[in-house]
Amino acid sequence: MTEPDFEGGCECGAVRYAVAGRLRPIVACHCSQCRRFTGHFLAATAARRSKLTLIKDAGLKWYDSSAAARRGFCALCGSTLFWEPRARDHISIAAGSLDDSRDLAIVCHIHVADKGAYYAIEPGVPQVADGRFSVPLPE
Q: Per residue in 40-68, pLDDT tens? A: 999 999 999 999 999 999 999 999 999 99
How many structural domains is the chain composed of? Answer: 1
Task: Classify residue 54: in a domain, yes or no.
Answer: yes
Task: Classify residue 61: in a domain, yes or no.
Answer: yes
Task: Classify residue 14: in a domain, yes or no.
Answer: yes
Task: Classify residue 121: in a domain, yes or no.
Answer: no
Please state the pTM of the whole predicted model.
0.92
- 85: domain CATH number is 2.170.150.70
Domain carrying residue 57? 6-114
Task: Classify residue 128: in a domain, yes or no.
Answer: no
What is the Cα–Cα distance from 9 to 19, expressed in whole angstroms?
11
Task: Classify residue 106: in a domain, yes or no.
Answer: yes
What is the average pLDDT across 117-132?
90
